[in-house]
Amino acid sequence: MDKFVLNIVNILSKTFSKEMIVFIISLMPLLELRGGLIAATLLKIPYMRAAIICILGNVLPIPFILLFLNKIFDLMEKWEPTKKIVRYFKDKAIKNKPKIDKYGLLGLILFVGIPLPGTGAWTGALVASVFNMDIKKASIGIFLGIILAFIIMSIVSYGIIGNIIR
């Protein structure tokens, strides 16, 4: 993931400030806060500034996904070229639903927060949206998951444990 983030940083650095690059990467599906923190480390952005930028960037799209994704999917399913895309995302949600159902809100928090491929706020919001989870409950779970991801990735990206031990 580091090389991928570095490539995006190199592309965006021609146009945007360091902080905006981190914000944009944190907004992106798949990369999200995890990629944002890696970019912030590469760009040598101070930890607290990076924390605020990455969390805001990762949180910003979530309400829109929760509120509008099903409506967008309904429209896309009516058009043949985008039907397969919707099916792909719905299948992804169906595949991950048992993990979340088994543990409820805690499952959503862990699903969003533990940095594994295919997990994160976007996918958590996708699952919550497709299965019509309560928006308030889903928002809280996703936000707490983002905070968990931030803590885990801070340890990895900024070496917080190493700094505490010194």
Ranges of each domain in the chain: 2-59, 62-152
pLDDT on residue 161: 52
Confidence of residue 163 (pLDDT cuts 50, 70, 90): low
Tokens 């505490």 found at: 164
Which of 22-31, 96-105, 147-156 has the lowest average pLDDT?
96-105
Q: Rounded to whole angstroms, how far apart are CA atoms 17 and 108?
A: 33
Q: Rounded to whole angstroms, how far apart are CA atoms 143 and 148?
A: 9
Q: Rounded to whole angstroms, how far apart are CA atoms 55 and 144?
A: 11
pLDDT digits (tens, 9 = 90+) for 37-87: 999 999 999 999 999 999 999 999 999 999 999 899 999 999 998 999 889
Confidence of residue 94 (pLDDT cuts 50, 70, 90): confident
Q: Rounded to whole angstroms, how far apart are CA atoms 93 and 130?
A: 7
For residue 159, is pLDDT > 80? Answer: no
**Beta carbons within 8 Å of 86's beta carbon, 6+ residues apart:** 73, 76, 77
pLDDT digits (tens, 9 = 90+) for 112-158: 999 888 789 998 998 888 888 899 999 999 999 999 999 998 887 77
Two tokens at 116?
């594994």
